[in-house]
Chains A and B, each alone.
Chain A
């Protein structure tokens, strides 16, 4: 009540400032909490709009080739939540840091570096080096090219229309990729699915690893790749016939397999300790998209549903297995964790 009264007495003001910037300049924003929305225009200047109380000040400083934007409490400590709308030239490199900040970049065309502790990151565009990091928050990236690095912890990520080297890691979440054009891919999650969609390039390197989850990848009929598929407690499934080297027994083929396709120049390593590895032809439906979806869960500190884990793993494994295979026997103690679902 008292807080509401104090708040109502606080005068609000708007900072709306436009600054000329030289080509090659970089934007550097630090926002403790709140939204940072960045959009582009065709002018070589940056417009900063933010509404705040008279207890906060917005510092916009330009030195060398960096335009720095900071919120500052006039009474000490971090400022209250600030929602920025920033308009930048398309060529500008963007750097945003925050603790409780949701960051959205729309149509940017330069380097991008975003790091937030708890907040969603949504980027459309980016060229050069793109680095996105969040501990708790969704990460999505679209239409980016260059070298992409994405790091999450307690959430998954969705990357679409990426052209270039790609590295993505999370601990508790799925990695879902659509229309990827890359010859260098490294994906890692501890507890989540990995779904890849894109061509396998000659001499490319693709490493997809999860501890507890499914891996799904399309393999074209005419591809030059050496596939190394390894699982410990899962199984290997394919919608087409795989011909492993003779001599491998059936048990091993279900867990570990190396297959050379064409001249084998690309190296594809798919490894899931406890989940299925599922190969399909391009254009065929993705197994994980067939599974029913669950509402978004944020901080998952609840107890796991082991039956659900097993059910999902088996469902994903068999829905697209054209060749009948023995049912894999789950370990007595499967990974006791909830399996995140792609949204």
Chain B
């Protein structure tokens, strides 16, 4: 494993290295098939992301994300990732990049870097990785800032979790029928999410499925937020 080099590949792709660093990376790549393969993966990922349609973000999703950013006071985090993580992330990204791309199309200042970095966020989120604000201090030593990209998944999961807790805490304030309706519809959305995920597993390059999955997840967040609000209004 050459973590010291893989850490630099994203910056290399973005042409953000000094001439000396760039020369060193190129020299290493000539002799390291593993790192060259990772670079190829990243290059394909970035190229694919750049070809994606730019869809306007659905405002409601961003509201939820923005609220979380404010409440956490999220300062940019710098974390590292390992070669296996990176390699796995490249695969995951093929499936997830469409959703990430449109969510942040108008906000990301550094598009290609973000997409590459989002691989890690996606990978960690899919494996149950913790939210950025809860990472170990040692994770802050690396050169890659993924905080704003990771909201696409880790922060989403955290937001869903928060709303679920709020709904759980306030469910006694709702009548049983309303609770049944909400839970039934959450179940419907979960089924849709699961079906979209399964479809993505068999067809990971399908950008329609990626976007569809994002839409379904946004819908779940919307419904949870609305249900949580009902518990407050009924108080």
**Chain A contacts to B: CB under 8 angstroms:** 99, 117-118, 135-136, 151, 153-154, 169, 171-172, 188, 190-191, 209, 211-212, 230, 232-233, 256, 271, 273-274, 299-301, 333, 335-337
Contact B181 A136 (CB under 8 A): yes
Instruction: Give the distance in Å from the alpha carbon of A256 to the alpha carbon of B195 in the complex.
Output: 18
- How far is it, in angstroms, between the C-alpha of A331 and the C-alpha of B216 when the chains are bound? 19
Q: Is there contact, CB below 8 Å, between A171 and B208? A: no
B212 and A171 form a contact (CB under 8 A): no
B223 cross-chain contacts in A, Cβ below 8 A? 153, 171
B212 contacts across to A, CB distance below 8 A: 209, 211, 232, 271, 273
Per-position 1/0 for B37-68, Cβ under 8 A of A: 00000000000000000000000000000000
CB–CB A172/B184 < 8 A: yes
B28: chain A residues within 8 A (beta carbon): none
With A and B bound together, what is the CA distance between A280 and B233 in angstroms?
45
Contact between A336 and B189 (Cβ–Cβ < 8 Å)? no
Query: Is there a chain A Cβ closer than 8 Å to B234's Cβ?
Result: yes
**Contact, CB under 8 Å: B182 / A273:** no
Which residues on B sit within 8 Å (CB–CB) of A191? 188, 192
Distance, CA A99 to CA B231, complexed state (A): 11
Beta-carbon contact of A299 and B219 below 8 Å: no
B182 / chain A contacts, CB cutoff of 8 Å: 135, 153
Is the CB of B232 closer than 8 A to any CB of chain A? no
Is B196 interfacial (CB-CB < 8 Å)?
Answer: yes
Contact among B181, B188, B209 with A299 in the assembled complex (CB-CB below 8 Å)? B181
8 A Cβ contacts from B166-191 to A: 177-178, 180-182, 184-185, 188-189, 191
Chain A residues within 8 Å of B181, by CB: 118, 135-136, 153-154, 299
Instruction: Report B-chain residues with C-beta under 8 Å of the C-beta of A301.
Output: 180, 184
Q: Residues of B at under 8 Å CB distance from A?
A: 177-178, 180-182, 184-185, 188-189, 191-192, 195-196, 199, 203, 206, 208-209, 211-212, 215-216, 219, 222-223, 226, 230, 233-234
- Given A274-B195, A335-B191, A337-B191, A299–B215 Cβ distance below 8 Å? no
A154 with B199: in contact, given A117-B230, A211-B216 (CB under 8 Å)? no
Interface contact B230-A190, CB-CB below 8 Å: no
Instruction: Say whether chain A's binding surface is mostly helix, strand, loop, or mixed.
Output: strand
How many whole Å from A325's CB to the nearest CB in chain B?
20
A293 to chain B, nearest CB (A): 22
Q: B185 touching A171 by the CB < 8 A rule?
A: yes
A171→B219 contact, CB < 8 A: yes
Q: Which 4 A-B pairs rank lowest in CB-CB distance, beginning with the nearest?
A: A211-B192, A230-B208, A171-B185, A154-B181
Instruction: Establish whether residues B208 and A300, one from each chain, have CB atoms under 8 Å apart when the complex forms.
Output: no
Contact of A209 among B184, B203, B215, B222 (CB under 8 A): B215
Within 8 Å by CB of B199, from A118, A136, A212, A232, lies: A232
Chain A proximity of B43: nearest CB distance (Å)? 26
If the complex has contacts A211-B195, A273-B196, are A256 and B178 also in contact, measured as CB distance less than 8 A?
Answer: no
Q: What residue of chain B has the Cβ atom nearest to residue A155's Cβ?
A: B181
**B184 with A190: CB separation less than 8 A:** no
What chain B residues lie within 8 Å of A300 (beta carbons)?
A: 184
A281 and B91 CA atoms in complex are apart in Å by 42
A256 and B208 contact, CB distance less than 8 A: yes
Q: Roughly how many angstroms separate A71 CA and B224 CA in the complex, as a whole number?
A: 29
Which residues of the other chain, B, contact A299 by a CB distance below 8 angstroms? Answer: 177, 180-181, 184
Which of chain A's residues have a CB closer than 8 A to the CB of B234?
99
